[in-house]
Amino acid sequence: MSDQPVADLSRAPLPTAKTLRQRRSIPLQLTRFVVFNTRIMKMVLSGHKGTH
Amino acid sequence: MPPGVCHVSSAKGQEMADVVVLGAGVSGHTAALHLRRKLGREHTVTVVSPNANWNWIPSNIWVGVGKMSKADVVFALAPIYRKKSIEHRQAKAVAIWPHGDNSDPRGAVDIVSTAADSVGDETRIRYDYLINATGPQLKFAMTPGLGPDGHTVSVCTADHAVEAADKLHECIEAMKAGATKTLIVGMGHGTCTCEGAAFEYIFNVDHELREAGVRDRARLIYLTNEASLGDFGVGGMTFDDMGFETSSELWTASLFREREVEAILGAHVSQVREGVVEYETLDGERHELAFDFAMLLPPFGGVPMSAYAADGSDITADLFAPSGFMKVDADYTAKPYAEWKASDWPHTYQAPGFDNLFAVGIAFAPPHQISQPRKTSNGTMIAPSPPRTGMPSGAMGKTVAMTIVDRIKNPAADARRASMADMGAACVASAGANLRTGSAAAMTMMPVVPDFDRFPTGRDLKQTRGEIGLAGHWVKLMLHHLFIHKAKARLGWQFIPE
């Protein structure tokens, strides 16, 4: 309960304990780091060139 | 030939050209570096910036929680420009004469010095090409009591962020002594932009409170003009998650619930008093919220400048929108929100009627909101403004720089194009700064401006992704070091993409 009109987030999905562990797992996150950077580079190469 | 370009030139191109860049933020500084890289020394590149320093603004949120110092995010521009042979005027631009004046048909800009040894001195400088990259005017005054001169803090500048960190740590010390506190982070007006920065800041505050062992003594509230979580001023995003279309709203709400951060949505802050925020919500209800610490971002406007015809008549309204942002090659036809198209957005950032005048980054006037504008039942506008910062800002700066390089070689060259409806952006929203325990919500979106003619969800699902984890923190930290390396024009800077 709140005195303010706060949004009801009670139906938002909570991450499981496994998901929370994965978010801090060094080996998995190293992989995600590579994947995310590859995604950025792909986006830059496809959409950031000033074209005529 | 561009109007006003009469400096020594030939059919093959200009032998000498003066290029002036107003502003040394991401877009202006990027443009200046690329111009200098591509143009011979017979051409001049001048940057006019009221600040002596460059600030990597995305890292200000880390200064604002005390994880970084001001020196980590700021450096002096003068040595960089000296090294690169870029002329630097520490001054603010106050007027543009795009047709020249009675004494010279070349375009000109009136600038007023902000340097300590010449403060207030006014000069008229001539240009063959001009880029307006002046960034935002921080309009704290639109909400009485908002900002460092009022009752809230900000992270818009490095100095603001230092003050925010000091006040946050005062709060943390009081909580360690047993006090309970209410901390508010969000948007200080219904028309603010940069919701992502407030999102980042509140989760970094949450992280700091947990590290200090006082999270249970704090009520943390995100007060935003977004009608739904995950809107970020871009109308939200749709992700392909394990074969299902998932909204950024659900994804963001999950993080808020997990970290026990409360959210007040669709809010317009109307006034801030000592320790109290007054705000109105979309249903027209007015509320008051007491706080101990509040970081609320201001709305942005264009940096105020006038424009004059050669005879001195005022043409400001021809060049600038009422918001103060410069009109470019966008479709500014007034139409209902439902009728706007991605193609309304500018492609070349060239001011109408002038082949040698451009506006990039926050300085150009967007044709319309991306996020749906709404009004309360009292008629108060609550409309998140479209972001034009970060990756797109740098890409625009480089694109316009390359157009100018082309036109100096060949005055008839077409302008290069880089519409926000064609380019993507990565938004790495820090949610805690620590190499082992930190995290970030890392998002990519393609394109920034959704195009519902090309994509059913407005964006390419293959390139629009979001994930939360430690890797996002590493990416943001890496980008911090890469972009400062680039901005300092160190070895290989040009190979770091915008």
Contacting B residues, span 473-492, partner chain A, CB-CB under 8 Å: 474-475, 478
Of the partner residues B257, B416, B467, the one whose CB lies closest to the CB of residue A9? B257
Q: Which residues of chain B does A27 touch, with a Cβ-Cβ cutoff of 8 Å?
A: none
Q: What is the mean pLDDT of each run of 10 residues along chain B (498 residues)?
A: 43 80 96 97 97 95 97 97 97 98 96 96 98 96 97 97 98 98 98 94 96 98 97 94 91 96 98 98 97 97 96 97 96 94 96 97 95 95 90 94 97 95 91 92 93 95 93 96 96 92
Predicted confidence at residue A44, as pLDDT, reads 82
Residues 6+ apart with CB under 8 A from B81: B32, B47, B87, B88
Could you give phi then psi for residue B420, rounded to 5 degrees? -70, -10
Asked if B263 contacts B229 with a C-beta cutoff of 8 angstroms, the reply is: yes
How many residues make up chain A in this entry? 52
- B443 interfacial to chain A (CB closer than 8 Å): no
Predicted confidence at residue B255, as pLDDT, reads 96
Encoded amino acid at B350, one letter: Q
pLDDT at A42 over 90: no
Contacting B residues, span 278-297, partner chain A, CB-CB under 8 Å: 281, 285, 287, 289
Coil, strand, or helix at residue B395? helix
Coil, strand, or helix at residue B314? strand
| Tokens representing residue B294 in the block | 């509040």
Report how far residue B363's alpha carbon sits from residue B131's, in angstroms, rounded to the nearest whole number.
10
Of the partner residues A7, A49, A50, the one whose CB lies closest to the CB of residue B265? A7
DSSP B493: G
Give the alpha-carbon dihedral of B451, B357, B45, B488, to 10 degrees. -20
Predicted confidence at residue A5, as pLDDT, reads 97
Contact state of B264 with A5 under an 8 Å Cβ cutoff: yes
Predicted confidence at residue B55, as pLDDT, reads 95
Contact state of B439 with A24 under an 8 Å Cβ cutoff: yes
Contact state of B436 with A52 under an 8 Å Cβ cutoff: no
Report how far residue B198's alpha carbon sits from residue B183's, in angstroms, rounded to the nearest whole number.
13
Entry pTM: 0.94
Predicted confidence at residue B164, as pLDDT, reads 98
Q: Quote the longest CA-to-CA distance of chain A.
A: 57
Q: Is the ipTM, as predicted for this complex, more than 0.85?
A: yes
Contact state of A23 with B424 under an 8 Å Cβ cutoff: no
Q: Which residues of chain B does A32 touch, with a Cβ-Cβ cutoff of 8 Å?
A: 467, 469, 471
